Amino acid sequence: MKGPLRKTMTWLHTWSSILLGWLLFAIFLTGTLSYFRMEISHWMTPEAHVSVPSEQSMSIAAKRLAEVAPDAESWNISLPSERSNTLDLSWRNPGDNQRRRGPMEVLDASTGEQINVRETRGGDFLYRFHFELYHLPRGVSRTLVEIATLAMFIALISGIIMHRKIFSDFFMFRTKNRSLGWSDAHAVTAVLALPFHLMITFSGLILLASTLVFWGGDINRGGNGGNQGRTTDVVEAMPVERLPLPDLTRMLDTAEHELGAKVSFLFANNPMTLDAEYLFYSSERTSLLGNRFGQTIALDYDGNVREATGMFAPTDANVSAVSAINGVLRTLHEARFADTFVRWLFFIAGVSGTLMVGTGSILWATKRAKRQAGQFGFELVHTLNIASIAGLCGAVASYFWLNRVLPADMLTRQSWEINGFFIVWLIALLHAAIFRHRNAWQWQLWVSGGLFALLPVLDQFTSPVGLWGAIVDGDVMRLSFDGMCLVIGGILLSSAAYLRKKSQLVMAPNTSLSKTITEQKAITS
């Protein structure tokens, strides 16, 4: 049984991965980048680089909201943190449609001046593309992603079964043989973060399960219904007596003392009234359950601690089993619990998974190059490998370039950033189809690597705060982004140089042999 079983698992592993390998590479790459989507969004809004966090941020936010929205039924204040350096305000006026987002403002956290940031989806585009693709109906795109995730899970399980020496192969890397080298690279990247690959694939499979399995309700909404406590109709608001603005800075100190953690977000329901409820959220989590925030504490108008009520109550308690499981898996999948160090570990593991998928696709083509070159199936795989790996990297880099090159006040610039991403990707596909046997890999790696490596230079000349200013201000998010672009660019350029060297070594013996044959013919004649 061992022989037939392993043979069956090999077949299953090969075809479950190669048929959707290109989509999986895109899902893994954009999903990995999404672990730093807030940092990416920060880089892509250079107008916000002038903001520097301040201890007076809460006071500045409160005074601004009291000025522009004194009669609002709710306030939202997002304070500066290690992942954001601006004050983000929003509010909802009485009678507003509850489904629509209310007015918003971005302020300098030190001066309170309003910052007009450019229109961009930032890191959110990569995050949404990761599980909804783009330009496709949401149901169709999520179903495709779910099928690809299922194929990935099958490939992982079958790969574990088929490899008899999966852990010993981890320490083997044979670079002299091209096919064995790609096989070893595939094994190393697979084993390096195997628990992460299993967790991320299984959790993704469950989170999108409702697209393939009819649960009688959307699993992502939990067992209590998605609209509980939410008003969807416009209701005429009754006049409410407004009181003076409370000392939110003192409340913030109280909340942080009670929670034992830094507060990153404030939601105020019925602010500046006797019925006011001020909820302070910490980004530090003590549970895998709940929403995207961590610990929560509620204060009344006088700053006394009270229990949150109704739709504003913490969500950790009284949740269904389905909702609890969904919450835990989502928290793990999106690393909502992670601090900066753990987020970097998730990022590195995600890079390993991306390389695992990419090397697997290349390995398939390498093994069949001699036997199937010229056949439609092989040429299709070879073309898609180039476009979906090197071409996609270039498309992502182009997305960042377009963010800075397009005029900040351009109409529909957000759409053109995204359209440019797909246009570059399409050009890469056409280039790969035409020049797949004429150094297409090299050219696309050169271009992609160059685009990434030059992003810090672009940042220096297109941001109101130069890189030296970012160092002085301690803008770690921006500097980390630029540093990672240099690393990615270096890897892509090194790969292109390696392929160029290998191609020269392959061509050199043929040139020598041709010269020898010519000399022998001359001697014979």
Task: Give per-residue pLDDT as tens, 325-359.
Answer: 888 888 888 888 888 889 999 999 999 989 888 88
159 domain residue, yes or no: no
Range of the domain at 488: 372-525
- 388 and 296 together in one domain: no
pTM for the structure as a whole: 0.84
Query: Rounded mean pLDDT of 106-117?
Result: 92
Structure letter (DSSP) for residue 321: H
Do 269 and 386 lie in a common domain? no
DSSP letter, residue 388: I
Identify the CA nearest to 491 among candidates 456, 439, 448: 448
What is the Cα–Cα distance from 398 to 187, expressed in whole angstroms? 31
pLDDT value at 304 more than 90 = no
State the pLDDT at residue 518: 47
Q: What is the pLDDT of residue 444?
A: 95
Query: What CA–CA distance (Å, rounded) separates 396 from 191?
Result: 27
Question: What percent of the chain stands above pLDDT 90?
Answer: 41
- How does pLDDT run across 204-228, given as a tens digit for each residue? 988 887 776 544 444 454 444 334 3
Single residue among 318, 353, 380 that ends a domain in this structure:
318
pLDDT in tens, 29-80: 999 999 999 999 999 999 999 998 888 999 999 999 999 988 888 999 999 9
Last residue of a domain, one of 255, 284, 318: 318
On whether both 386 and 502 belong to a single domain, the answer is yes
Residues 256 and 107 in one domain: yes
- Domain final residue pick, 256, 288, 318: 318
Q: Assess whether 388 and 519 both reside in one domain.
A: yes
| Phi, psi for 264 (deg, rounded to 5) | -115, -15
Q: Is residue 177 part of a domain?
A: no
Write the CA distances from 268 to 251, 272, 311, integer angstroms: 12, 9, 13
Distance in angstroms (rounded) separating the CA atoms of residues 512 and 464: 57
Closest CA to 18 of 440, 465, 498, 377: 377
Q: What is the domain count for the chain?
A: 2
Residues 30 and 369 sit within 8 Å (Cβ to Cβ): no
* Tokens 């593991």, residue located: 349
Report CA Rg, the chain. Answer: 27
Q: Which range, of 109-123, 239-253, 393-407, 507-521, averages the lowest pLDDT?
A: 507-521
pLDDT grade for 169, boundaries at 50, 70 and 90: low
Q: Is residue 60 part of a domain?
A: yes
Q: Based on the domain organization, do 400 and 292 belong to the same domain? A: no
Go through the chain and tell me how many residues it has. 525
Residue with structure tokens 């995730």? 149
Residues 432 and 520 in one domain: yes
Q: Is residue 33 part of a domain?
A: no
Tens of pLDDT, residue by residue over 414-457, are 999 999 999 999 999 999 999 988 889 999 999 999 999 999 99
- The H-or-E segment that residue 396 falls in is helix 392-405
Residue 77 to residue 502: CA distance in whole angstroms: 56
pLDDT of residue 232: 43
Helix residue ranges per DSSP H, 436-475: 440-453, 455-462, 467-473
pLDDT of residue 233: 46
Q: Judge if 94 and 237 occupy the same domain.
A: yes
pLDDT for residue 311: 45
Percent of the chain with pLDDT over 70: 80
Q: Specify whether 277 is located in the same domain as 383.
A: no
Kindly give, in sequence order, each residue whose CB lies less than 8 Å from that of residue 379, ignoring residues fewer than 6 positions away. Answer: 373, 436
pLDDT at 482: 95
Q: Is residue 441 part of a domain?
A: yes
Residue 485 above 90 pLDDT?
yes
Cβ-contact 498, 445 below 8 angstroms:
no
